[in-house]
Structures are given as C-alpha cells and as structure tokens.
Amino acid sequence: MKTKIALSLVAAVACIAAFAESLNCASPDGKNALSFALGEKGEPTYSFAYRGRTVVEPSTLGFDIKALGKDAFDGRKPGELRTGFVLAGVERASADETWKPVWGEESEIRDRHEEMLVKLVQKGTGRRMDLRFRVFDDGMGFRYEFPADDDNSVARLVPGENIAPEGKTQPLTHFTIVEERTRFNLPCDATAWWIPADYETQEYRYTKSRVSEIPSLFKAAPDANLSSTLTDFPAVQTALMLKYDNGLLVNIHEAACVDYATMHLRVDGTSFESSLTPDATGAKGWMQTPCKSPWRTLIVGGKGADILASRITLNLNEPCAIEDTSWIHPVKYIGVWWTMITGAKNWAYMPDPSMHAANTTNVMRHIDFAAEHGFDEVLVEGWDIGFEDWFGKEKDAVFDFVTPYPDFDLEGLNKYAHEKGVKLMMYHETSASTRNYERHLDEAYALMNRLGYDSVKAGYVGNILPHGETHYSQWSNNHYLYCIKEAAKRKIMVNQHEAVRPTGLCRTWPNLIGNEAARGTEYESFGGNNADHTTILPFTRLVGGPMDYTPGIFETDLSKICSWKKQRISTTLAGQLALYVTMFSPLQMAADVPESYEKRLDALQFIKDVPCDWDESRYLEAEIGDYLTIVRKAKGKDEWYLGMKADENEHEADIVLDFLTPGKTYEATIYADAPDAVYRTETAGNYVIEKRTVTASDRLHLRAAPGGGAAVSFRLLQ
Amino acid sequence: MKTKIALSLVAAVACIAAFAESLNCASPDGKNALSFALGEKGEPTYSFAYRGRTVVEPSTLGFDIKALGKDAFDGRKPGELRTGFVLAGVERASADETWKPVWGEESEIRDRHEEMLVKLVQKGTGRRMDLRFRVFDDGMGFRYEFPADDDNSVARLVPGENIAPEGKTQPLTHFTIVEERTRFNLPCDATAWWIPADYETQEYRYTKSRVSEIPSLFKAAPDANLSSTLTDFPAVQTALMLKYDNGLLVNIHEAACVDYATMHLRVDGTSFESSLTPDATGAKGWMQTPCKSPWRTLIVGGKGADILASRITLNLNEPCAIEDTSWIHPVKYIGVWWTMITGAKNWAYMPDPSMHAANTTNVMRHIDFAAEHGFDEVLVEGWDIGFEDWFGKEKDAVFDFVTPYPDFDLEGLNKYAHEKGVKLMMYHETSASTRNYERHLDEAYALMNRLGYDSVKAGYVGNILPHGETHYSQWSNNHYLYCIKEAAKRKIMVNQHEAVRPTGLCRTWPNLIGNEAARGTEYESFGGNNADHTTILPFTRLVGGPMDYTPGIFETDLSKICSWKKQRISTTLAGQLALYVTMFSPLQMAADVPESYEKRLDALQFIKDVPCDWDESRYLEAEIGDYLTIVRKAKGKDEWYLGMKADENEHEADIVLDFLTPGKTYEATIYADAPDAVYRTETAGNYVIEKRTVTASDRLHLRAAPGGGAAVSFRLLQ
C-alpha cells in the first residue's frame, strides 16, 4: 500500500484550571469547525459546524460506569465520567494519506483530516478520559480513549490543580459501562429516515418523519421478525440519515466498532443520545484500560452525493491487518436459494426429500449455469443436517457444518464445479448459537480448505445464544469478528447475514466481503420492501460497508416461482439491474433461478458484464428516498457502468457523459424500463435494451419507471 | 468390562382411568418400597420407605414450563406438567449387573435394582411425561423422561380416556423449564448437614441444624468468596445429608446431571422442593424431546457406613463411553502451589519476578523431589501469562494456555521431568471465561500432547462468563462436560476446580479423575476449615464422586511457610495422613512444600505407600460430623490401608483386623497423633510411628487426637 503521511505534533498546551474558552479544530479546507469546551460542572462538550451551518449544537459527552475498586472483592462501584473534568492537555496532528483498499468503490482513498486529542482528568477520582477528534472536509469523527491508569502522575498532568487527595485517586482500570452518554443536540427538528432501535434485527422498512415524531411512530414501525427486541424507549438505529430544514444532510453512525456494543440513538425531543446494546446482565460494556470506544461519526453534505462519496467510515478504521491479500477477490455468484426463500422448495431434506432444493442434480444444474455464464461461485443453502429442526427453537447445538444431507454429494459437487472453473460457496447457518459455531469453526473451515471453498455465507437467524445476549451486544460483536479473523487465517472470505451492522471493519479485514444487516431482497418474498427502500439504503446501511442485498430478480411475479406466493417484487426488472451499480458490494448475487435468466439472456448480459470492484465512482444525483444515479469505472479497465434507481415515482435525467475518456468512443448498452413498465404490476418485467455509440461529449437521457431504474454499460470501441 | 445382566420386562398394565390405587416397586431384597400414585387432580406423587420406615412421605412431582407452540413465531407459552395426568402404562424390569470401574473404591461394582417406568399423559394437552424409578437395597433414584412427541397416538396410549380433542393436543417438543417441582416431603424435622444454595460456589463450611432452622441460619452461613450468588430464598445444596429422629440416615443428591442445570433444595417447613440453577434469562433449562432429567437420588441407611458404601450414584450413570481406557491411571502428585496459597509466593511473574513460584529452578527442585519419592506428577500453577491481571475482574480473554512466563522453561522442564520418570501436570486457569477457554482448548490440549502432559487441573475462579450465566447453569454444565469429552479424545485426564459438583459422571468419563466442588485444603489458608469438615464431606460432596481435596499438609503452622500468615490448619499431621484413605480420590496430592516433607520423611512414607485405587473398601465406623474409619485394599495387592479421622474431639476405636487374609502375617505401620497432639496448637504436628506384626485375628487400638486421625498400612510379610 502506497501511503503519504504528514503528521505534525503540536506540544500540549498548558493546563487552564478555570477553563472556559473552547478548543477548536478546523477541517483541512478550513470550512468545518469542531469546538470543544468544558461546561460549568466540568462536563466535556462539543459542537460541530459545516461550512458555517450548525450540525450539532453544544452537546455533552461521557459515561455512566461501574468501576472496579482496588480490591477485587469490593466489586464494581457506580460512578460517572461526565462531570468534574479538567483539561490536562491538547495534542494536535494533521494527516493526508492515500491508501489502496483491497476492493472498493475506488482504487485509492484519501484520508485527509485534522486531529485534536483533548486529554481530561476528573477531579476527585483522578480518572483519565481523552477525546480524540478528527475533522474532515465532509464531516468528523470522535472517540473516547481511556489511558492505562498505570501511573500515579495525575497530579503531574495538571500541575495547578488539586485533582485528588494524595493516594485517594480511584484508578480506572476495569470498568463496566452503564451507559454511554454521547449527545447529539440538533439545531432543528430534522427529517429522519429511520428504523427502530432493536437489539436483534435491522430488517426493517424505513420510516421518514421528523425526529420529534419518532416517539409516536416508534411502536408502529416494527415489521414481523423471528427475533426482535425493541428498546423500551424510543430510539433508532444508525447509520441514521437526517435532513435539516436548511437542506443540510447529516449522517450519524459509528466506525470501527471493536470489542464494544453497538450504539443506538435514543430520541430526546429533537435530539439524540447514545444508548448501547446491553448484555444479559444489563451491562453495556466490559472495559479495561487502555481502551477506546468506536468512532462516532457525522458525515455532512449539502447534497446527497456528498454523503455517498464520503469515506469517513473507512478512514476511521485501522489499515488492513492481513499481510497477503492476494486470495481476496470480488465474487459474482448465483445460489440454490430463491426457491427456498419464495417457498417453492425447502432447506431441509426431511420430511419430503422431493422438496429439498440442495440436491446433487439441482446443484449440478446451477454449476452448469454458472460455468456457462461466467459466475464465480454457487451458493448452496440447506445442504447440511440440522435444517429439519431448528427454526425459532433456540436450540444450543444444531449444525456441525460438515455433515451433508444424503442427497448432497459434498465432494463430488465440488469436484464437478472445479472442473468447470466454478467454486461452491459455503453456507453456515449458525442457528445464532455462537458457542456451537465456535466449537465447530475450526473443523468447518478446515473442510472448506480441503474441498476448495474460499468463501462462506454465515447466517445468524433467531435469538442469539447464549440466552440473554443479543445480536449487537459486545459479546456477539466479539464473536463475529472472531469468526472473520479465524477465517482470514485460513484464507476464507466471509459474508455475514443477520450479524451486526458494519462499521467499516472491512478496511482492516477485507476478507469480510459481505454483510446483510438490513432488509434485503429476501423480504420481497417475506412481505415486501418499500419501493424507495434501495434509494435509502445507500445513505444508511451502506455507510458502514457493502451489503449483500442479493439483487437480480427477473421474474417479478413470485407466483411464477412458487404457485401459492401471490406477490410481486417492489421494483421493475430494469430496477433490479440498476442495483448492481447503486448498491456497492464486492460480492454480488444474481438471486433469481436459472430459468428466469435463461428466458431473458439479453438482460442477463448486464449482470454478466458489470464488475463488483471499481477504480472510481461518481454520484451523479442522489436524493434520499427518491432516486439516485451512480456511475463507476471498472477496476483496471476503461469501462463504465451506470445505475439509476427510482422510488415509486417515475424519474428522468439527462446524464452528461463527461466521465468517459475524452476522444474515445464507447458502446453504451442501455437497459431500461419499457414505457409501460410499472413495479408491482404485470408489466414490471418489461424492459428495453438499446445500444448506442457515445463519447464524453454526449448526453444520455434516461428514464426510470415507477419502482424502476436503468442500467448502462459503456464499453470501449476500438 | 465383565457384566451380568438379568432383565425381565413386564408388559404394560392396562390403563386405569379412574386411577386411585398406587403402583409399588420393592427393592431386590424386598425391604424397601417405592410407591407411586396419581392424586385427585392427577398429580404424580411418590413416596419411599426403607425397611418399614418412611423416607419420603407422599410428594408431588412435575414441572412448570414454557412450551413452544406449533409456530415458531408464537414463542413459548406458559404451561405446567404437574396436574391432569392419567396413567398410560407401566413397565417393569429387574437388573443385576456387575461392572468394573476404571478406577474406584472397589474393583467391581454391583448394580442390582428393580425398575418401574410409569408412563403418563396429561389430559387436555396430550403431553407425555414418564417417571423411571429404580429401587435399590440401599435407596432409590428416579428421573423424568419426556418421550419424543412425534406420534399423534396419544389417544391410543389411553384408549378409554378422552385425552384431548382431535387435533387439539399441544405437542411437547421444545420447552423451557420454569422450575422443576420435585418435592421431598420428609416425615420429621430432620437434622441436616448443609451448605447454602449458591449458583456460583460450593466452598462453604457446613452447618448442622434442623431443617426447620435453615431459613433463620441461611444468610449467616455464607463464607467470603470472590464469586457468590446465594439463592434469594432459603435453600441448600446437594448432596444433602439428613438424619431423622429415628436414626435413619438419608442422602439427597442427583446422578448423571447432563445437559441440565444443577439442582438445589428449597426449604419448605421441614421439607424440600427442587429448584434449578437459572440461566441469564431466568430460564432453568432448554429442553427438546426426547430428553430426560438427571436422576434424583435417595441413599438411605441405618448407619453412616451404609451411606458411604452405597454405589447408587455411579450405578445410575451410563457405562464408560471411552473405548480404550488404558491411558487413564491414578495420579499421586506434588505441586508448585502451597507457597502461593499461603501467600508466600505469587502466581504471577509481574510485578516481582523474585516472588514468582513457577520458575524453572523451583520447578526443577520439585521434579527432583517427585522423582526421589516416587510421585507421578508435579502440578505447576501460575506458569502462563495472564495471572498478572485477572483475579476478580471478569475479563473475557485472559489466558491463551500456551504462553509461559519468561522464567518458565516449558519445553526444558518437561524434558527434565520425563528423563526422571516424572510428568508435569498442566494447569489451566480458565478465569471462568468459558468462551475464551473453548476457543483455546484445542491448541492447549495439543500442546499438552506434544510435550507429554497427560493430565490437567482446570480452574474456574470468579464469575462465569458469559455474564449472567453461573457456575451451575445448564450452559456451564454443558461446558464442563465438553472439556472432558474433548480431553478424552486427546487422552487427557481432567481435574476440574470450582466447576460443578459431580454427579457420578466419572463412570461414563473416567478421565474425569478429579473435582474440587467443595471447600478444600486451600481454605486452611483462606480462613480455615472446621475440624469436622472432613468427617462430613464423605457423606455429602463425595457422594457424587472423588474430590481433589489436596491433603498432606505437614507444616501445621502456616507462618512457617509464609511469615505473615498467622494461622494453623484444622487437623493434626496424622489427621492429614488419614485423609488419603478417608477421602477417596484416584488423584491424590501431597500438598505441602518439599521442605516440610524432607523434615519428616518417616511420615511421608505413608503418602508414598498409600495407593489411590482400590480393590475393596470397608467402612468400619462412620458418624457424620464426628469421626470415620475406613480400610481399603490396594488394587491387585494383598495390602491394606486404614484411615481414621476425628472431628474436634478425641476419638478411639478397637479395630478388628478380620479384613486381612486369614493365615497371613502383615507388618502394620501405624501413623498416629502423639499423645500431646491437638489441632490448631503448636503440638498439632506431633506424631508417632509404630510398626507391629499383625494377623486377621488381631485387634488394633487406635486413637485420634482432637482434630486428628490415624493412618495404618498393612503390608504382607513373606
């Protein structure tokens, strides 16, 4: 990785005992301003302005905790890290670094920010809590840092201050988080695109409302889900997208959530306060100094494209921890999947083997299709014993991840696939039993290595075991990352479903090529998605990392797949194609059954052509909840792909093709909705394909039908 | 294993709709009677009499549950399995089998019992619950069995009865135990030797009181322990020893606790009701039919020796599950341990390496001593990184079980030991973090295999992780057994400390050669044991299996080991020797430091001679809380060893030597308290050794000082 780093450390400023003025940190372009101050009671307080407009008004920071005393038999005593702080120093740094992701929306990412580390000591206890702010041109991030309390030099830190009586400091070594109390005081009653805070699921439709309206809408928002534990107070999940009345767009999320519980945002009037996911005992974090929180991020822009173009989440994560990444690659795949999701077939072999989708013959048919059309891998769900009795039953030990059903020829199918240049993709349904999965992980991964699987989709359906833990508690977050790290040791790529929402960890662990963590295409069968769903996700769920949304449904009438499923998907066919560009992921599925594609090979061509890894991405237009158009340059090729996606309303745009290399000629293949196409109707599958020769000086008029979209490939003509 | 089995199955009796009479099952000798009946409300009820005397008056059986409905989204609905039952059949069987334990108090164990299986169906729900009773000459056991609810033939089970409307049965497939409601209605206000019910620790002193007095004494009973969660109602732990006013001795415990929470006994007047250990959510068991409870056991006798001689706990466990047991062997060991327990040295290398006991030089000295005196193994605690920061801190990840402190030459010391014919014993302090231990288990065991360790002492100090689980919940019990099974695969013997109290699982998994699960010798340093402690343990803790009590403290004044530890142990030196016989274990430690033994090599001779595996055991006298005398025959040798242990009072007995082979002459070496020896005084270490030639027709007068004991070896003279 080629990096340019410019760091300049400014010596700590002298302590100011009666600290009243604020410490400021401007963005590299000088246009954004982070301001920090200690309040009257010594409460850490920050505010943030973006190009002169307030993003967050003065908001307090801190924690309620329980801290272990000097004697282990004492237990943990209640305390707080919210008031009584004095300033012990400030350190500043500048960074301007460009790094290359293993895969991504662009091949080079610039990390340019100003940093301010505010060092604090609490009077009376002598406890230390630092705040590290990083201010970017497109937002900011900050995190809490708790230095190791291994020196008794607190007095030395703040010479003029009587911090704590000699020998009476209460060292902060091992502590429990009762609650993180990070406030986001907003300057207005913003419009929010939100899903309710839930410790178990993120698979919700979005609600658009004023922040002040969330409490009254909160309980009505939930959709049916097998595993759901709503917060018992009105709160929302991140990444949360807000629009201020002055047009400012603000995204609140977190970056690098490692060994920490996932954050929710508790609604308080028109503002928010952090609330972490508790463990089985109600504790929200088990900490030991030195330690730190994840970054709390504010991505800000004047228009939607600013949010989509931001790389703050990735930039606040640690560099890649895997030395040799040559085995990590984008994956385009099909699966033995949609027949089960629609209800046409079963995951389980029992009680009716004729209904079992993952049988050797059927999988061979999928391998043949993948080989013929250039797909890298074939996912097979329901191949191993356990599916016959687990769903919703919270069983401790269900799967062993190595024992196939009798009609699935594990070795033979892998051999068959490899002979055809295709790989099978492993599926591990963990049954949300983290212990059972970890007990079998080594053997399961070893089997994958032996048979030549290089990627696994891991599911966490149902309530998490151990009982009392939830999908987003520190314990569970620790589990997901453990599986990713163990997989990296064995050169296995991971795609986690029903796991925690991503926070950019794929920078550090690029073998995490996929996450679900939102309502995906499967809900087109389970009750439907809103037509605007995929015009919102890029502003929310995707801020943390790519999503395995599994697009590509060509048969928009599900009763054609499963006779009793009288349901239509919420986009047009062309809209499905657009998602391969608008919903970035290095892992892209063509989720429909081979028969659906075989009937529409001309449309399939786009899925075959579109890459999942890019040199460059341009966000041509993006209005959350309405429409967006993105164009991306294929990695290492002078080849561009465009996706336009509309909500329930028709959308038209004139696209300036100035992203193309000047002086070159391209063949544009336009996959568009037919004039009569309307989502959720019998015309939804109607599309038109047009080829046109274009150059950088051309314009292209594109139209998306209601619930529709458009997809265009631009391939160089020699 | 040579077994004789005689089974006779009696066909099910016809259903009796209006069931009022009782079903009876007598012991093989015809003297004990188990009686079962359904009460007016269809409540299962049992009673038990031992040789004409009531042990348990009619007592109800059953559960409060939550059962999963037909639809996983329904969740689990409250229900009960206590009333409304009708009889669906009775099956009877007789067994008389002799089996050979891999190690034990005797080389052959007879399992002779009458069995009655009572099959029940609940009206209205159609749910099935069976009760399997086994009646022995020395007590009885029963368990609940829940057949798989996979047939809808409930009506066929009880033809004359309208069990449940057609199609309206509520199948019992997956259910949660809210509480097990097994009652033990006692016929009098018995005297009990008890420790309070606690979900985290068993390391209590015993209290002797009437059952009715337990509630008022309950909260005063606890001793300080790092990890303790008392029940919030008066209850006691099992094995519970009771003495009725008519002299009858009754022991209540459980056998074969597998995938189930540990049982406590809730006090209700002068009776008890079962109460299981909850998980983090309060649930007391996650069950799926077919499944069963552990056995609930009543061991009964007219005198103390009857209780000690009973093999009901082992007989109610499954046969050995390990095919090749040749690698399992008794272990006599010393340890780098007592210096840390007394406070003279540290487990951790930091902060003061000179205080670190597990250093290469010190361990070599112990290896030398073990080799010179014929000990099999040397336990070394505190050898691996992690001890410097863990105690009482509930950290998730502390130890990796493979990384030694810099002053511990892991490979070199094993090589050194093996050259001298000694093995090192591994120590795994799990820090009670079950996940962290399981994550490292394979690597940790692999290291043991590679270096030639064949046994591990595994500790579970502190609160169990995951947070909210406790030491005795189903989750934790599952963990302990998992470790034992994984160890068996790698031919590793396991000795678990601070784990769950044993329930005879060592029959099935004889590589479980040791358990602590009670207040052991370590408390002689931590606050003291009562003088009668080891006259109670054989009646309570040892009913479930052997205990690694770690006797052999020769330096009765702890200030000689650690200058600031002004404490004396609660026995005399001769009393310590007696424990090698009275506290059966295939794993016996000589717990003191080598220097203590080197000063008293004549007394050490008994520890060197005494075996830990036996052909035969005779319980010559046994008065709980007062004294006991046991004599055992060495396995495969005409050699006997006697131990007599007294409480705080002096005890004398004339021992008839008729256990010796008639016509043979033996050298008896008698290790006795000196006439002036008194426990907890400066004379406690005074002992006398006398040799005498004896035959089977002789008598031996033995005397134990207050807190003392006597030990005798009888070795054949040729």
User: Tens digit of pLDDT for each residue in B305-335?
Assistant: 999 999 999 999 999 999 999 999 999 999 9
For residue B601, the model assigns a pLDDT of 98
First to last CA, chain B: 33
With CA atoms as reference, the chain A residue closest to B225 would be A73
Alpha-helix residue ranges (DSSP H) falling in A621-669: none
Q: pLDDT, tens digit, for every residue of A335-373?
A: 999 999 999 999 999 999 999 999 999 999 999 999 999
A258 touches chain B (CB under 8 A): no
In which band, very low, low, confident or very high, does the pLDDT at A20 lie, cut at 50, 70 and 90?
A: low
List the beta bridge partners of residue A568: A557
Q: Give the mean model confidence (pLDDT) for residues B494-508.
A: 98
Cβ distance A393 to B226 less than 8 Å, yes or no, reads no
For residue B19, the model assigns a pLDDT of 44
Phi and psi dihedrals of A304, rounded to 5? -55, -40
Catalytic residue among B180, B522, B524, B639: B522
Task: Report chain B residues whose CB lies below 8 A from the CB of A446.
Answer: none
Window B:211-240, CB contacts with A under 8 Å: 224, 226
B443 touches chain A (CB under 8 A): no
For residue B339, the model assigns a pLDDT of 98
Question: For residue B48, what are the contacts with CB-CB under 8 A and spacing of at least 6?
Answer: B32, B33, B34, B35, B54, B55, B56, B140, B298
Mutate to test the interface with B, among A151, A176, A201, A394 (most CBs of B within 10 A): A394
For residue A18, the model assigns a pLDDT of 39
Name which of A68, A391, A438 is nearest B72 (Cβ-Cβ). A391
Task: Give the torsion through C-alpha atoms of B425, B430, B432, B438, to 10 deg.
Answer: -120
Residue among B185, B212, B42 at smallest CA distance from B124: B42
Q: Give the mean model confidence (pLDDT) for residues B91-102.
A: 98
List the beta bridge partners of residue B105: none
What the block records as the tokens of A713 is 């490939």
The better pLDDT of the pair A635, A69 is held by: A635
Mutate to test the interface with A, among B149, B389, B435 (most CBs of A within 10 A): B435
Window A:276-315, CB contacts with B under 8 Å: 279-281, 283, 286, 288
Q: pLDDT, tens digit, for every residue of B260-295?
A: 999 999 999 999 999 999 999 999 999 999 999 999
Cβ distance A467 to B279 less than 8 Å, yes or no, reads yes
For residue A164, the model assigns a pLDDT of 76
For residue B698, the model assigns a pLDDT of 97
Cβ distance B467 to A438 less than 8 Å, yes or no, reads no
Task: Report chain B residues whose CB lies below 8 A from the CB of A466.
Answer: 279-280, 466, 468-469, 475
CB A711 within 8 A of CB A577: yes
Residue among A159, A178, A185, A179 at smallest CA distance from A89: A159
Q: Give the mean model confidence (pLDDT) for residues B231-250.
A: 97
For residue B116, the model assigns a pLDDT of 98
A13 pLDDT above the threshold of 60: no
A438 touches chain B (CB under 8 A): yes
Window A:479-498, CB contacts with B under 8 Å: 482
For residue A156, the model assigns a pLDDT of 62
A22 pLDDT above the threshold of 90: yes
Q: Which residues of A404-426 are buried (b: 16+ CB within 10 A; e: fewer)?
A: bbebbbbeebbebbeeeebbbbb
For residue B150, the model assigns a pLDDT of 58
- In the numeric block, the tokens 């809210």 are attached to B178
Cβ distance B68 to A393 less than 8 Å, yes or no, reads yes
Nearest-neighbour CA in chain A from B457: distance (Å): 21
Nearest-neighbour CA in chain B from A17: distance (Å): 34
Helix axes A410-419, A360-373, angle to 10 degrees: 20
A9 pLDDT above the threshold of 50: no
Residue among A662, A625, A664, A618 at smallest CA distance from A643: A618
For residue A158, the model assigns a pLDDT of 75
With CA atoms as reference, the chain A residue closest to B279 would be A467
Q: What is the 3-state secondary structure (H, E, C) of B663-707?
A: CCCEEEEEEEECCCCCCCCCCCCCEEEEEEEECCCCEEEEEECCC
The CA distance from B649 to B532, in Å, is: 9
Least confident interval from A329-333, A462-466, B150-154, B452-456: B150-154
The H or E element spanning position B346 is none
Cβ distance B281 to A280 less than 8 Å, yes or no, reads yes
Nearest-neighbour CA in chain A from B174: distance (Å): 7
Task: Report chain A residues whose CB lies below 8 A from the CB of B172.
Answer: none
Q: Give the mean model confidence (pLDDT) for residues B442-461.
A: 98
Task: Report chain B residues whose CB lies below 8 A from the CB of A224.
Answer: 73
- In the numeric block, the tokens 């895969």 are attached to A103
CB A533 within 8 A of CB A547: no
Q: Is the ipTM of this complex over 0.85?
A: yes
Q: pLDDT, tens digit, for every residue of B215-230?
A: 999 988 777 788 899 9
A17 pLDDT above the threshold of 70: no
Q: Give the mean model confidence (pLDDT) for residues A624-652.
A: 98
Name which of B224, B288, B467 is nearest A279 (Cβ-Cβ). B467
Instruction: Tell me A605's DSSP state.
Output: H
Residue among A335, A319, A323, A313 at smallest CA distance from A139: A313
For residue B226, the model assigns a pLDDT of 83
B10 pLDDT above the threshold of 50: no
For residue B152, the model assigns a pLDDT of 46
Mean pLDDT over all residues of chain B?
Answer: 94
The CA distance from A317 to A295, in Å, is: 9
For residue A668, the model assigns a pLDDT of 98
Nearest-neighbour CA in chain A from B210: distance (Å): 32
For residue A21, the model assigns a pLDDT of 77
Cβ distance A482 to B439 less than 8 Å, yes or no, reads yes
Cβ distance A174 to B393 less than 8 Å, yes or no, reads yes
For residue B153, the model assigns a pLDDT of 55
Name which of A288, A395, A469 is nearest B395 (Cβ-Cβ). A288
The CA distance from B451 to A673, in Å, is: 69
Cβ distance A393 to B283 less than 8 Å, yes or no, reads no
Share of chain B above pLDDT 90, in %: 91
The better pLDDT of the pair B150, B465 is held by: B465
Q: How far is CA A717 from CA A504, A665, A696, in A?
A: 37, 6, 13
Phi and psi dihedrals of A78, rounded to 5? -60, 145
Residues of A belonging to the active site = 522
Name which of A71, A226, A475 is nearest B466 (Cβ-Cβ). A475
Mean pLDDT over all residues of chain A?
Answer: 94
B466 touches chain A (CB under 8 A): yes
For residue A526, the model assigns a pLDDT of 93
What the block records as the tokens of B531 is 């003088």
For residue B9, the model assigns a pLDDT of 33
Nearest-neighbour CA in chain A from B461: distance (Å): 12
B407 touches chain A (CB under 8 A): no
Known catalytic membership, residue B652: no
Task: Report chain B residues whose CB lies below 8 A from the CB of A283.
Answer: 467
A166 pLDDT above the threshold of 90: no
In which band, very low, low, confident or very high, does the pLDDT at B422 lie, cut at 50, 70 and 90?
A: very high
A72 pLDDT above the threshold of 80: no
Question: For residue A637, what are the contacts with CB-CB under 8 A and spacing of at least 6?
Answer: A611, A615
Using alpha carbons only, give the angle B93, B99, B103 rounded to the nearest 5 degrees.
Answer: 145
